[in-house]
Structure 1
Amino acid sequence: MIKLLVIGNLGKDAILNNVNGKNVINFTVAHTEKYKDAQGVQKDRTVWVDCSYWTDRTGVVPYLKKGTQVYVEGNPDVRTYTTQDGRNGASLTLRVLSIQLIGTKGGEGASGNPASGNSGYTPQTPAYGGQPVVSSPNELTEPMDDLPF
């Protein structure tokens, strides 16, 4: 099995479709990586990943808005095609197994105002002012500062 992990921003709002009686959430994630070329010039390289999330958990759709930063993991597939002008092309697709909302691009819309592009999602910060607490059952639930090592 090959697993792909992607952290990036949604390129547009997610779309909920129903295919043969099953729900699928389609969205595109862009991951931009900064690098320096041979001359030392700072450049950006963006990889777009087309995602399909086959699930009955459709409550996440209102939060999957353009610019929202997400963490997705799943099984990748590269599809090749020929363009109308005869050139070869390829696209990276991902059959999503899990998704986590991280925030909005550049911290925009942190007010929780739906008109700000955040749709009411704000990353939780603990009241004690320390590191965020991980809420997964198999992960740490203590602040990072209180670790014994």
Structure 2
Amino acid sequence: MASLNEVRLIGNLGKDPEVREVGGTPNCTISVATTRFRKGENGREEVTQWHRVVLWGQLAEYAGRYLKKGAPVYVGGYLETRKWTDNDGQDHYTTEVVAEDLQGLGARRPAEG
């Protein structure tokens, strides 16, 4: 049986990207907000969903150089769930988008900083 794990998002950054190195490779985690509308008790309601997106290598460097909080972006990638254990032995899980494509949808200027 065939399977598919694909995510495409168009939204806005929730904060400035911060690039760091993990094992010598640039890494960056960004939050992307997407908004949709649904029918609610008082008519049409706006619903915002936040997505955690992980960027590696050149995509992380691009985000750090060209993107700022509020910037509109396109993200293409796949979902991945990670598990970790905290200091108390409690298991935790997080699901995030691992980006394979990232495009800024606004004007392309180096971020000041």
TM-score, normalised to structure 1, is: 0.57
Match of 2:89 in 1: none
- Alignment match, 1:48: 50
Counterpart of 1:18, as a letter, is E
Q: Deviations over 1:33-89 (max 9, x none)?
A: 11212x4611111111111111135144222110000000111135689xxxxxxx9
Q: Which has the larger radius of gyration?
A: 1
Q: Which amino acid aligns with 1:95?
A: V
Partners of 1:41 and 1:68 lie apart in 2 by: 29
- One-letter amino acid matched to 2:47: R
Q: Count how many residue pairs are aligned between Structure 1 and Structure 2.
A: 101
Kept in 1, the 8 Å contact 2:64–2:111? The answer is no
- The aligned residue for residue 140 of structure 1 is none
Runs of 4+ in 1 over 4 A off after TM superposition: 78-81, 89-92
Where do 5+ consecutive residues of structure 1 fail to align?
Answer: 82-88, 104-109, 121-149
Aligned equivalent of 1:6: 9
Report the structure, 1 or 2, having the larger strand content.
2
TM-score w.r.t. the length of structure 2 is 0.73
1:13 partner SS: coil
Residue 24 (structure 2) aligned to one of 18, 21, 24: 21
CA contact (8 A) 1:24 1:54 kept: yes
Task: Provide the identity percentage.
Answer: 29
Pairing 1:78-97 to 2, within 5 Å after superposition: 78=81, 92-97=95-100
1:48–1:90 CA distance, 2 compared to 1 (3 A):
farther
1:65 aligns with 2:88: no
| Partner secondary structure for residue 65 of structure 2 | helix
What does residue 100 of structure 1 align with?
Answer: 103
Q: 1:34 to 1:40 in 2, by over 3 A?
A: same
Instruction: Using CA pairs under 8 Å that are at least 6 residues apart, name the structure with larger relative contact order, 1 or 2.
Output: 2
